[in-house]
Structure 1
Amino acid sequence: MKLATWNVNSLNVRLPHVLDWIAAEKPDVLCLQETKQEDSKFPYAALQEAGYNAVHSGQKTYNGVAILSPHAIENVTFGIPGLDDEQKRLVTATINGVRIVCAYIPNGQSLDCDKYQYKLRWLEALIGYLQQELQQHPKLALLGDYNIAPEDRDVHDPAAWVGQVLVSEPERKAFNAFTSLGLHDSFRLFEQEEASFSWWDYRMAGFRRNLGLRIDHILVSDALKSQCRRCWIDQGPRKLERPSDHTPVVLELE
């Protein structure tokens, strides 16, 4: 079983990239973030023609999450129960017995911004939600754009990022709370090259110079950890014309 996550930064722009990628890689699950389109504009027909079912929670211009799979997508829920939030950032479903949580965690903008406090509240709500989901679904994977670089080795220049979002202590504490629930960073289950990143700024030739961050993650529960066989970052789509600033992260399960 192959799971993948990809912040496409506008599916309207990146749909050809997605269709080419799923044709080549044939993931069993692909979680998308920042689709940036309403449900009425989502390309269900094009994906169905490519052999993929889909569920989507979207809004105009911002946010938006989707789960794609060639298999049945069951027991679908949207958002975090109990959290009053108009932003479309979470969709959950069961595929082949695995509970898939697709998340687009808020960016936070800056440490002195209301959006940062919103991010911390959202993370707290997500942690509570995952705790409940894990009780019902031992086989669970949390995929998405976390907007958190969990360690300094996940940042191209830690000193340059001091005092900024994505690397702050409260954000990293929240990431560690996921692991305290029994979730494991699948990328770090395997030996990886140094300076492995999933996001690069469009500016300053960020990708060419590898000035990146690893902020897209696939965390898996204890029940799935032993089934993990390989996890990697596929830089191919980032090399395309008009790419997303993120690239897919892929996990193979036994």
Structure 2
Amino acid sequence: MGTEEEYTKELLAELEQCFIDNDPSTICGVIFETVGGSTIGTPTPPKGYLDGAKAICDKYGALFMLDEVMCGMGRCGYPFTFMHPDFGLSNGAGPDICTVGKTIGSGFVTLAGVLISPKIKKAIDEGSGYIMGAQTYHSHDFNCRVGLAVQKKIYSNNLIENCRVVGAYLKEQLQTKLKDNKIVGDIRGAGDFLSIEAVKDKATKEPFNPKLGVASLIAKRALDKGLYVMGLTGCIKSEIQPNGSVVAYGDHITMAPAFSFTKEHADFISTTLAEVFAELEKELL
């Protein structure tokens, strides 16, 4: 088994080879989720990966873009997730473009944004000096006022710090209470954006047969006990069958409690999931 540093180098080599194979002059930008969302269950990038990816994009003249619609704006314990000290960008660097959403309006309103770096602003100023934008949802005063009120509340109540502190506590409790469960393959994520991957074999990480619908089973059992989590499949791979249907391998659940959640809420979440996984361990193995 290699080290995290070796894995980072392997991933970066793969990224650079993709540039080379496809002619760097044809690639205008690369989009990354700082922390993967519901599709693959909140994996955090290995240390040094984002810095290395940005350097490769800079080398070949491509824009380095981060999608933080799901993971950002405090969800992972920092104002922007690329600021995370464990896996984020170093030396105060930021992406060329960053997309944000969800947390801006806290579900009260639909609101999202595209944030640009000084480099992008300079290119626009020295180019056309114009950004096309009009009509649909343009300058939506009400939604923007709600979004501003939400942000003021988040900062006045130190809710980003709460995500970081209570989220770390929840992750620790999940790791402790599920440590010996034979169908728990991984517990991952940052802040209060966390996932648990369910596997048939804890050692090899072999997934369950997709026909069993394990992720849905976990979500249903949890809901029966008063806890809502997202049960999702496909975090390992998906295969298109001859008849055109898709079979997804890899079961995981993802949770993202409210920014105001407490250690008592975290205890309820971890205890409930420990009960659910203990029941399914007996039934599935």
* TM-score, normalised via structure 1 length: 0.28
Work out which structure has the larger RCO, using CA pairs closer than 8 Å and 6 or more positions apart in sequence: 1
Q: Which has the larger radius of gyration?
A: 2
More helix by share: 2
